[in-house]
Structure 1
Amino acid sequence: MTAATALTTGARKAVLHRMVMPGHICPYGLKARWLLRHKGYEVEDHWLTSREETDAFKAAHDVRTTPQIFIDGQRIGGHDDLRRFFGLKVADPKATTYTPVLTVFAVGMLLALALNWLTAMPLIGIMTIERFIAITMMLLAMLKLQDVERFATMFLNYDLLARRSVPYGRVYPFLELGAGVLMLTGTLEWLSIPVALIIGGIGAASVFKAVYIEKRELKCACVGGASNVPLGFISLTENVMMVAMALWMLTGVAH
């Protein structure tokens, strides 16, 4: 919104102080400016162009962070404070959520459908489920492989085999990825089936014991060691899918 438009529409005025330096432009300052304009405010945008200027501003207003927003002469605070001012949700970085793993499942299904489309296979059928499971295994393994050590550390909180043999936690993502690739391509079933049965079976037993028997509240390492996904039913699903896929392939029904 331009200044002229703001005046003609009677938009309220907000003052924004944000860092805009040669090597750094504060992303939260940009988000705050967009949100203010989106809410119909005319934004008086003040740039803090050096560390010295930023420190002086913080000292003058007795604040610890920038950006800082003022509306009608009242200091609102930073970007999160501005969202609260408008009655918008502010995400809690420590809150548990199933969103990461549900996103993986959704993308896995889309990739399976896309692969069926490209190979002229029916979009809905047994092949779709097989490909979905294999692709999802690969996606989950990829997330674990971003930081194997961090994953392995979180894995030790509940996995029964990892507790007996610590190196298993570091190997697990590679086993999951390898089994997923082999299952997707339908090769070396003599290897992929037992691998999926073993890691999926142990994983399912571990989650069931920790959550449903010991009633422990833990975070799942299924999407990597930095996740806030709670250990529970959806975590159990990852392992059950691997076991189900291996048993299906073992029966030979799919071939």
Structure 2
Amino acid sequence: MSTHAIENAIAHKRATLYRMVMPEHVCPYGLKARFLLRRKGFRVDDRWLQTRAQTDAFKATQQVETTPQVFIGGRRIGGYDDLRRHFGLVVHDPSVPSYRPVVAVFLVALLMAGASLLAVGRPLLGPQLLSAFIAFSMCILALLKLQDVESFSTMFLTYDLLARRFVIYAYVYPFAELLAGVLMVAGRLHEVWVPVALFVGSVGAASVIKAVYVDRRELKCACVGGSSSVPLGFVSLTENLLMVAMALWAIAMRGSGWLF
């Protein structure tokens, strides 16, 4: 293709996309690439690779290992991640530490806490909101851990002081956190959830302080499950301290009727 033809294609925002579309498999990255191109104003020549043989032949001809493949002005841009880079967009790297999962958990927990208070006609501002927020956060975090207890326990064992002495604690922890969170939401059995929250929160806080602030170790936090890339540190420490604070506050306010 001539330089003029390439420039003309780019100027008129035309792109060619090769992607797998088979009865048993439609490439999700191909769909994302088409969506992104159209969002950027490109007219897409959407070419389907409908058989495995056709796909393999395309890869061999283009000397590429994966599909989809995007061409703009006759120049190969590459796959979906390459296309994002071409447009100056961020490409997610799961190995890079990120607080995004924790932020998502806390935001959803806060919204659930507020919604639950509105549902029963309670004011949004006050200790009930904090109580509900902590309780829902604990439930969501426990859910994420329970998706893969083996993976969670492996990461948890890298820093938790009690789990390193008694491995069974790494398996019990998510269930204990869920139990405390559910009972906090229900506002029942304070004699159960208060000591549980106080215990796991205290041990957790001590473990984080020892690993991060004393030993200066750079570890990943198992707080949102064993496959997360959340750095161990301030967020995990805050989570544990909030559980301790909630338990102590419940003890101090026992019988006052304010608990959620």
TM-score if structure 2 supplies the norm length?
0.92
Identical columns (%): 60
Deviation at 1:23, TM superposition (A): 1.0
Q: How does 1:61-72 map to 2 (within 5 A)?
A: 61-72=62-73
Which deviates more from structure 2 when the two are superposed, residues 179-188 or residues 148-157? 179-188
Give the match's secondary structure for 2:48: strand
Determine the structure 2 residue equivalent to 1:182.
Answer: 183
Spell out the pairing of 1:187-202 with structure 2 (5 A cutoff): 187-202=188-203
Partner residue in 2 for 1:162: 163
**Whole-Å separation in 2 of the counterparts to 1:213 and 1:33:** 50
CA shift digits 1:142-163 (9 cap, x unpaired) = 1101111110110001000000
Contact 1:220-1:231 at 8 Å conserved across structures? yes
Aligned residue for 2:84, secondary structure, equals: helix
| CA displacement at 1:44 relative to structure 2 | 1.1
Q: TM-score, normalised by structure 1?
A: 0.94
C-alpha RMSD of the superposition: 1.3
Once the 2 structures are TM-superposed, how far is the Cα of residue 252 of structure 1 from its aligned partner?
Answer: 2.2
Cα distance in 1, alignment partners of residues 214 and 79 from structure 2: 44
How far apart, in 2, do the equivalents of 1:252 and 1:171 lie?
28
What do residues 59-87 of structure 1 show as CA deviations (whole Å, max 9, x unaligned)? Answer: 11110000011111111111111111111
CA distance in 2, matches of 1:240, 1:12: 54
Q: CA deviation at 1:192?
A: 1.0
Tell which deviates more after alignment, 215-224 or 188-197: 188-197
Specify the SS of the correspondent of 2:46. strand
Alpha-carbon shift at residue 181 of structure 1 (Å): 1.2
In structure 2, list runs of 5 or more residues that go unmatched.
1-7
Counterpart in 1 of 2:17? Answer: 16
Q: Matches of 1:26 and 1:66 in 2, distance apart?
A: 8
Structure 2 residue 229 is the aligned partner of structure 1 residue 228: yes
Partner-residue secondary structure (3-state), 2:117: helix
Q: 5+ unaligned residues in a row in structure 1: which ranges?
A: 1-6
How many angstroms apart in 1 are the aligned matches of 2:114 and 2:41?
42
* CA distance in 1: counterparts of 2:64 and 2:132, whole angstroms: 53
CA deviation vs aligned residue, 1:22-61 (integer Å, no higher than 9, x gap): 0111111111111112222221111000111101110111
- Stretches of 4+ moved more than 3 A in 1? none
User: 3-state DSSP class of the match of 1:209?
Assistant: helix
In the alignment, is the contact (CA less than 8 A) between 1:11 and 1:40 conserved in 2? no
Deviation at 1:11, TM superposition (A): 2.3
8 Å CA contact 1:211, 1:217 repeated in 2: yes
Equivalent-residue separation in structure 1 for 2:48 and 2:143 (angstroms): 40
Query: Which piece of structure 1 moves more, 225-234 or 245-254?
Result: 245-254
Equivalent residue, structure 2, for 1:203: 204
Q: Helix, strand or coil: the match of 1:90?
A: coil
